[in-house]
Structure 1
């Protein structure tokens, strides 16, 4: 049980660390946006996200896995995004997540328990600069990651598809990370996946 609690806490921490990176299906009226249209300053108006974090450890021949899933749209969104020909600069970006996480416990691949956990988190205002290059006519590639991850987790290379829905700019991206960490002598495999869409309106 102590191992399970540790895994659950670890997954919750991973969720917080990766909540900056996500996507959803395209807006029905989304359309392409040109390089010229993309340039300028935009107000951050929200982010829709789906995340899945899995932490697994094997003890005495039994593999215990904890899966935490969230699906939400942020509220209390603030901040701006300045886009130039080769970089994006986010300024004082912040948002609040008020949702319910679904937690599942598996032992040797068999679901043993599932429950829901209220989750409320306000991201501290943060600013960041990320360089990008175009890929085709509808995607941007960020060699150092679009958003700097807090804590000890490094940024990762990432891409984002871009489009517009009316006067709203859509940045759709994905995040994936897999690593093994030593947690007090226990080898824990952490796998995190996220899809998201960040929305901005012309300032």
Structure 2
């Protein structure tokens, strides 16, 4: 799951909620779902004129992230050159772990506002699945159905003087759902994926007749 180009709107939004230093890091890290959608739209999503996002991240997902984080005292690091996990591992102190757990609990109660971006529409999380089912069963053209892709993202959690960041990014559409909670490390002024805490993906049960199950990638 990749990161995207920066978006000034995130910088503005986070300035209302976090300290200035974290605000700058958040604007740099998120880089950004909306901007990517907007820039790719003329080429990939010709008929997509609305950016859909949920008001929050599913509490069940955050609970699984929390459980994984508490269960493991170290996390395999990701090597982008090898496109694989390596033997190096990231570890956290007891105080750091307590802080991350407390921040994850705060994310459960956090909600994004409506009209965060131009051409954007916020959908309450509990209405996402019914809306996707309705869209799939509608008489809309296939391209229009594909446009109904809902993005899910959390507020970033910073650690170690803003050199590490914990962030969740996911999406839902008529075919599937997926998401990943990664640790990012700031290297030479840029955020790089460091380690995965939790990843999951499911197929649309109605389309593929498969049970919806969460799973962790190795």
Could you state the TM-score of these two structures normalised by the residue count of structure 1? 0.28
Greater fraction helix? 2
Q: Which has the higher contact order (CA 8 A, sep 6+)?
A: 1
Could you state the TM-score of these two structures normalised by the residue count of structure 2? 0.27
Greater fraction strand? 1
